[in-house]
Structure 1
Amino acid sequence: MNATPHGNARTEVLVIGAGMAGGVLAARLSDHGVKVICLEQGPELHPLELPHMSDLFELEKTRNANAHPNVRGLQEDYPVTSDDEGSSIRMVSAVGGSANKYSGVWMRPRPSDFRKGTEHGMAPDWPISYEELAPYFDICDSEMGIAGLDGNPAYPPYAPRCNPALPMGRAGRKLASALDRLGWHWWPTDNAIVTKPFDGRLPCNHCGQCVMGCPRGSMSTSANSFWPRAVRNGAELRTFARVHRILMSNGKATGALYEDLHTGALHRIRADIVIVAANGIGTPRLLLMSADGTNGQGIANASGLVGKNLMFHPQAFVEGLFDDPMDSYKGARGSPLYVGEFHETDTARGFVNGYTMIMVRAPGAGYAAMGYSTFRPVDWGANHHRHFAEMFNRQAWFLNLAEDLPLARNTVTLDPLKKDSSGLPVPKVSYRMHDQDRRATQHSIVKAEEVMRTAGARIVNNSGVLEQPCGFHLMGTARMGFTPTDSVVNKWHRSWDIDNLFICDGSSMATSFPVTPTATIGAMAVRLADHIVRNKAAILQTNAVREAAHAATAPERSLA
């Protein structure tokens, strides 16, 4: 690698990370003529490069297409170490981020989810309310083309869905009938999957291999919903650009130093405003790596909370085996329905917070044979074909997501020994589930099993509570809050310590909610972009005041 950085690009706003938040920010800011450069350490994926297009797609899921960067080991990946050998921290380095390998489940929190401090005190309140964020949910949902059914009584009214809901299928109808008999609230799930022609994109053909990437573009991600517009507007997207650190001078962020992974050359970008959107692990890693003589604990970390309060969502799978065909391998992977009956806190259950049961489909015969979610593979030997026939296409599944508490002991730090391919320290995860979260997840297993038995399942299996750090949902490690001591950023995602540094991704979530986080991340990014457009002059004026105050005490460090 070259030892001296070269290049002196300048922009108004530098966005680090081209995932959900990065794409929204680039598009919304450039809509208003703001000059934006975005640095993404992964590639822009072409549809023909997706494993979905391979005859060996199921095998590819265990190799280069694996969701775990430690397994993939691609040039653009960085490993993640952990105290727990069974951990599986899943994320994707590419334009569109981890949504390149998600199933499109798109869920909103409820108003009560923003008030956990008031509700039970074991987690903080958010400094913003559902009502404040609701218009931005509507904007992001509309641009993503979310499919669903209007009128969900569990929520205040919100904008009509752009696309019809996914078909329920046999399994969905059977579980819905059981839920009706139990009298529990359920609703067709919102999904980031277009079910009719939308914005020049083809509708879903229900092939079912969503997590292998959608070559039709029917799965909505920032890569096909926001980035095309951002680029048309003039936003500059630099791929294979690994950021080494955020540059600081006189108390403000001045840009970033990054490496071109193709050539190994170092480049410097100057910016008036820096936004970090590198996910709940990548963001604290970068803030910690940006430490220098005056910021020994990393930047934006006067609170000491950067990298703390990591949340994943405790998970469990429940499987029902039925006598009748379920067509469970047919249709979009997404979620035909979810159960919201246990979303709210009821301390009579023995825990605070709640959980959601999400009906999911399976991608195909190979996964079914390997045991899919409950890890009970088909027998080998003389009974193989009989056992397979008894299982395949006769299954239905729930994925249960519980809200986990933000705990200071659950952290992302820098591994003192292991480095990535650029010689940078890799993130190390330490995570231990709170017992109350374990009780919530176990409760979800019992209730999901009740649904399966009510639906007529002859056998019901479960995965147990998945104890190891696991999942795409990486949250809480640079959270927003009310004061510089209880949080890393304020209600506008602005660092308490650095006036022109913003953090907007899963890391800035104060709590995890018992629902998938992508819709919330997108809404937060819309809100932040609009805030910056309205207040850019004031932000830059504050920068100038801070720079003058620090001019004599904080000279810029060497870039070498």
Structure 2
Amino acid sequence: MSKRLSDAGIRVVCLEQGDWVHPTQFPHFHDEWEIEKYRGWAFDPNMRQAPEDYPITGVTSPRLMNVVGGSTVHYAGHWFRYKPVDFRKGTEHGLAGTIDWPISYEDLAPFYDINDAEVGVSGLAGDPANPPRPMRHGPPIKPGNGGRRMAEAWNKLGWSWWPTDNAILTRGHNGRQPCNSCGNCLSGCPRGSLGSADVAYWPQAIRNGVDLRTYARVESILVEGGRATGAVYIDRLTGARHEVRADVVVLAANGVGTPRLLLMSAQKGHPDGLANGNGLVGTHLMHHCWSFADMWFEDPIEGYKGAIGCSVHSQQHYDTDPSHGFVNGMTMLTLGSFGAAYSAMGTHTAPPEPWGAEHRAAFNRHFGHHVVSFMQGDDLPVITNRVTLDADAKDSSGLPAAHIDYALSDNDIALAEFGTERLREAAEAAGAVETHMTGPMHPPPAWHLMGTCRMGNSPADSVTNAVNQTWEVPNLFITDGSSLTTGAAVNPTSTIGAVAVRCAEYIKANHQTLLSQKRTPSNAEALALW
């Protein structure tokens, strides 16, 4: 948003409660780099307990970073797009609060293209399971022995597969270096090869003149006369409060942080939180459903060499099949392996290697012989899966924590059980000599935070309209994972970025109209303005 709006000369102030992460702060430079990834660099803010973090209570512990670039600074870079069917799940089955998106894949496709070009995506054109799209910036990441092994297994089973798009450079881009195959993407990338927002977008935004204020923790969004007027933030270094005035306010604090801030912004005329007159802020939280499989082979795999990101995937079971007894589907992914310490700890599913005399023989059987594959399922948007405030826990500025209630639906569990059996079939087809599996994970790993301020068709079913304007406040926009109407069966980062690009282009095209708009237009009116 900051980069695209400032391209047009619009003055942008961005409030970020964290700070920049310098490349030397990544775990790569720590003597215990593999342990540090799960300590000071942990995905879970409740484990890090850094001053920029806020506590999260409840069932799941979301994986998020409160720094410039957000959670992209340590993601795997998987760069899937949603499929056309994902935008019309309300029509397809309409279960448990599922609604159609107010836009289609075709509406979003040009903005996927823009976002891909900004980030620099590796991949291979021609996937018959998805709509056509432009050539990627560089060729796909190397599959390694593990990727090839899984592709061969899927071939044996008659399942379709394709090399995966990744926001990992295989060719230099805008001064960023290509991947050197160090295999430590989840610890961030000090080379800038990983397409994190701090290297892909922020340098140009800063050159455009964006006023990025770090250590600026937003306390509330202000509203007067039915319009947002700006925000109050706390300077975390001094504790002082400041007010920023703005003609348009954009909220992009992730699927947990955004509803938290809207609920904290309760004020006169908005007693239950901002944009929450219909009570839907924070509801319909989606994480995806998961099952993991660790497989070991007699021959060397050396999965610790190369990018950790998914090299090949299968969407053979992506679409709803009524004969299965559940709706929605899944993607099966293959990752690179982690390092020696993680292998010794059992990787994702197995017990740690024995301590003592038997350790070396067990370690030698496992390290370098490992493939991890998992199913990622499309969980239903359920109204009781939600984010609320917890006043009994507070962040370092004294603001209330976020609280999460989340439970897999029976449909999600059936989908994950089906996926577990497919993982078992794939392991056997691949010739694994040892396999450990999680089965359906409950609670699931909360890597993806979606749906809590979703786009929709009217104020009765959503928080924002088709161009991300909140129904109650016409100059307040939401562009992050919370705005996604459904979760699909793929990683959401590419879609979050495309939605944000589209919204930025709408604001640019209608900037003068937005300055005087007294009410939020209907979807038909908004698209007519577009």
2:461 aligns to what?
486
Alpha-carbon distance between aligned partners in 2 of 1:111 and 1:444, rounded to the nearest angstrom: 22
SS of equivalent to 1:115: helix
Q: Give distance in 1, aligned partners of 2:240 and 2:359.
A: 54
Secondary structure (helix, strand or coil) at the match of 1:272 reads: coil
**Contact 2:294 / 2:350 at 8 angstroms: preserved in 1?**
no
Q: Which residue of 1 aligns with 2:71?
A: 98
1:140 corresponds to: 115
Residue matched to 2:30: 54
Aligned counterpart in structure 1 of residue 441 of structure 2, from 456, 466, 469: 466
Name the CA distance, whole Å, in 1 between partners of 2:396 and 2:227. 29
Distance 1:281 1:174 in 2: 37
Query: Residue in 2 aligned with 1:424?
Result: 399
Residue 151 (structure 2) pairs with residue 176 (structure 1): yes
1:38 to 3, 6, 14: 14
Gaps of 5+ in 1: 1-24, 547-560
- 1:370–1:377 contact (8 Å) kept in structure 2: yes
Looking at structure 1, the residues matched to 345 and 322 of structure 2 have their Cα atoms a distance apart, in angstroms, of 38
Q: Tell me what 1:313 maps to.
A: 288
**Is 1:354 matched up with 2:351?**
no
Written as runs of structure 1 = structure 2, the 5 A alignment for 1:325-364 is 325-364=300-339
Gaps of 5+ in 2: 522-530
Q: How many angstroms does 1:293 deviate by?
A: 3.4
SS at structure 1 position matched to 2:126: coil
Q: Which residue of 1 aligns with 2:52?
A: 76
Runs of 4+ in structure 1 over 3 Å off: 543-546
Kindly, what percent of the aligned residue pairs are identical?
Answer: 48
Amino acid at match of 1:37: V
Instruction: For 2:520 and 2:382, locate their aligned partners in 1 and report how far apart those are by CA, in whole Å.
Output: 36
Measured after TM superposition, the shift of residue 408 of structure 1 is 0.7
Deviation at 1:472, TM superposition (A): 2.0
Q: Distance in 2 between matches of 1:335 and 1:299?
A: 39
Map of 1:212 onto structure 2:
187
Structure 2 Cα separation of the partners of residues 462 and 160 of structure 1: 36
Deviation at 1:97, TM superposition (A): 0.5
Which residue matches 1:27?
A: 3
- Is contact 1:30–1:36 with CA below 8 Å preserved after alignment? yes
**Per the alignment, in what secondary structure is the counterpart of residue 360 of structure 2?**
helix
Paired with 1:359 and 1:245, the residues of 2 have a C-alpha distance of: 42
| Mapped partners of 1:339, 1:191: distance in 2 | 15
Paired position in structure 2 for 1:385? 360
Could you say what the CA RMSD is over the residues aligned between the two structures, in angstroms?
1.3
1:116 matches 2:92: no
Counterpart Cα distance in 1 of 2:391 and 2:176: 46
Cα contact 2:474–2:520 (8 A) shared by 1 = no
Q: Normalized against structure 1, the TM-score is what? A: 0.91
Contact 2:455–2:463, Cα closer than 8 Å, also in 1: yes
Asked if the contact 1:98/1:472 (under 8 Å) is kept, the reply is: no
Residues 64 and 71, structure 2, Cα contact 8 Å, conserved in 1: yes
Q: Helix, strand or coil for the counterpart of 2:248?
A: strand
| Secondary structure of the corresponding residue to residue 471 of structure 1 | coil
Contact 1:311 1:474 in 2 (8 A): yes
The whole-number CA distance in structure 1 between the counterparts of 2:277 and 2:137 is 43
Task: Tell me if structure 2 keeps the 8 A contact 1:189–1:337.
Answer: yes
Quote the Cα distance in structure 1 between the aligned partners of 2:468 and 2:78.
Answer: 25
2:42 pairs, out of 53, 63, 66, with 66
Offset of 1:471 from its aligned partner? 2.1
Structure 1 residue 544: deviation in Å?
A: 9.4
Aligned with residue 288 of structure 1, among 263, 279, 282: 263
The answer to whether structure 1 residue 542 and structure 2 residue 517 are counterparts is: yes
2:135 paired with 1:157: no
Letter in 1 for 2:117: S
Residues 448-467 of structure 1: pairs in structure 2 closer than 5 A: 448-467=423-442
Report the counterpart of residue 273 of structure 2 in structure 1.
Answer: 298
Superposition deviation, residue 88 in structure 1? 2.5
1:376 is matched by which residue type in structure 2?
Answer: P
Q: Distance in 1 between matches of 2:386 and 2:41?
A: 27
Query: How far, CA to CA, are the matches of 2:2 and 2:391 in structure 1?
Result: 34
* AA partner of residue 293 (structure 2): V
**Which of these residues, 86, 96, 105, is aligned with residue 130 of structure 1?**
105
Superposed displacement of residue 463, structure 1: 1.3
In the comparison of the two structures, how many residue pairs are matched?
519
Q: What does the per-residue CA deviation read over 1:235-289, in whole Å, with 9 as the maximum and x for residues that have no partner?
A: 1111111000001111111000001111111110000000000000000000000
* Cα distance, 1:31–1:47 mapped onto 2, change above 3 Å: same
C-alpha displacement at 1:399, in angstroms?
A: 2.4
State the distance in 2 between where 1:197 and 1:110 align: 29
Other-structure match for 2:527 = none
Structure 1 residue 545, shift from structure 2 partner: 11
**Structure 1 residue 351: deviation in Å?**
0.9
* Corresponding residue SS for 2:275: coil
2:333 is aligned with what amino acid? I
Counterpart contact for 1:431–1:469, Cα < 8 Å: no
- Does the CA-based 8 Å contact 2:73-2:197 persist in structure 1? no
Q: Is the 8 A contact 1:375 1:463 kept in 2?
A: no
Counterpart of 2:424 in structure 1: which amino acid? E
